[in-house]
Amino acid sequence: SQKIEQNSEALNIQEGKTATLTCNYTNYSPAYLQWYRQDPGRGPVFLLLIRENEKEKRKERLKVTFDTTLKQSLFHITASQPADSATYLCALDRGGSYIPTFGRGTSLIVHP
Amino acid sequence: GAGVSQSPSNKVTEKGKDVELRCDPISGHTALYWYRQSLGQGLEFLIYFQGNSAPDKSGLPSDRFSAERTGGSVSTLTIQRTQQEDSAVYLCASSLSGGAQETQYFGPGTRLLVL
């Protein structure tokens, strides 16, 4: 089965810096990878999807990369703001299933 | 339009009692998912409904867990004879048609505490 690793330690950065979060996976290469944001007491909110044939995807201050050789996705937030503080989850497909597998998420804390 | 709603938002129950959790998906969404999220854990898939197809129950942890979806809309997750290890946040999500790469829209969750 697919295993996903996200850094369990919180990432603390200063406002204005670029935050970089990592999602590593084992076993097969997924057809797609998604990133979600989750605030305390709320459900996850979809941010970006990147497909296996895409190297990079951007949306405003967000950028996602997908390296199938390294079995890794990086999620970047440029010019970070305290409002970006949240937990970020990555999710991968299960090899043909309609049900993604979610990582545990990494907490990001942006200090003013 | 309204998003996914769940009720109750919080539920405290005694060990051994049954609980029912409700999910109202986004109108028009044919796919509905239930997940469980324990402290510090990822989202654990429980069950998936898609239209009139038989649900995918492969994630249900035991036969104490069951779910139904009436009229292709509202879903109820039932946990019988609750145990303390059932304490978690139960999240419901819906998507337009259940396609593999579709965005899932999550509700706020029901926080279940079993004493």
Residues of chain B with Cβ-Cβ distance to A89 below 8 Å are 42-43
Residues of chain A with Cβ-Cβ distance to B101 below 8 Å are 31-32, 49, 51, 93
| CA–CA dist B111, B88 (Å, integer) | 6
Quick one: pLDDT at residue A31?
Answer: 82
For the segment A29-53, the average pLDDT, to the nearest whole number, is: 92
DSSP letters for chain A = ---EEE--SPEEEETTSPEEEEEEE-SSPPSEEEEEEE-TTS--EEEEEEETT-SEEEETTEEEEEETTTTEEEEEESS--GGG-EEEEEEE--SS-SSPEE---EEEEEE-
**Where is pLDDT greater, at B71 or A76?**
A76
Quick one: pLDDT at residue A14?
Answer: 97
| CA–CA dist A25, A3 (Å, integer) | 6
% of residues, chain B, pLDDT over 90: 83
Beta carbons of B43 and A89 less than 8 Å apart: yes
Task: Decide: helix, strand or coil at residue B86.
Answer: helix
Weakest-pLDDT range from A46-50, A52-56, A84-88, B10-14: A52-56
% of residues, chain B, pLDDT over 70: 99
Short-list B72, B77, B87, B78, CA closest to B27: B72
Q: Is the pLDDT of residue B26 over 90?
A: yes
Provide the Cα torsion A75, A80, A83, A89; round to 10°.
10
Q: Is the pLDDT of residue B40 over 90?
A: no
Q: Nearest CA of chain B to the CA of A30: how many Å?
A: 11
Burial of A83 (0-12, 13-18, 19+ CB in 10 A): exposed
| CA–CA dist B55, B73 (Å, integer) | 13
Q: For B49-97, write each residue's pLDDT tens digit.
A: 998 889 999 999 999 999 999 887 999 999 999 999 999 999 999 999 8
Q: Is the pLDDT of residue B110 over 70?
A: yes
CB A90 within 8 A of CB A75: yes
| CA–CA dist B74, A102 (Å, integer) | 24
Mutation choice for B interface testing from A6, A99, A101 by most B CBs within 10 A: A99
Residue B1 pLDDT class (50, 70, 90 cuts): low
